[in-house]
């Protein structure tokens, strides 16, 4: 069952979230280039804060 879930997530490009993954704990599943392994590909995270203008 786990193999099917990972294969489907990798094929469809699902966004995966988990509580025991490094911050931001969101990413995708990718198929390793060799063997039958999968890997977690974290999303790029940046704080998107507007820059304050002078005099605000």
User: Is 26 among the domain residues?
Assistant: yes
User: Is 14 among the domain residues?
Assistant: yes
6-40: burial string, b at 16+ Cβ within 10 Å, e else? beebbeeeeebeeeeeeeeeebbbeeeeeeeebee
Looking at residue 22, what is its pLDDT?
A: 78
Q: Grade residue 52 by pLDDT with cuts at 50, 70 and 90.
A: low
What is the tens place of the pLDDT at every residue in 8-51? Answer: 999 999 999 988 887 888 999 999 988 889 999 999 877 766 66
Looking at residue 54, what is its pLDDT?
A: 65
What's the domain range around 38?
Answer: 2-42
- How many domains does the chain fold into? 1
């Amino acid at each position: 069952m786990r193999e099917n879930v990972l294969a489907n997530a990798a094929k469809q490009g699902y966004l995966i979230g988990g509580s025991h993954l490094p911050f931001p704990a969101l990413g995708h599943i990718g198929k390793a280039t060799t063997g039958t392994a999968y890997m977690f590909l974290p999303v790029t995270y940046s704080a998107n804060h507007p820059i304050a203008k002078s005099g605000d």
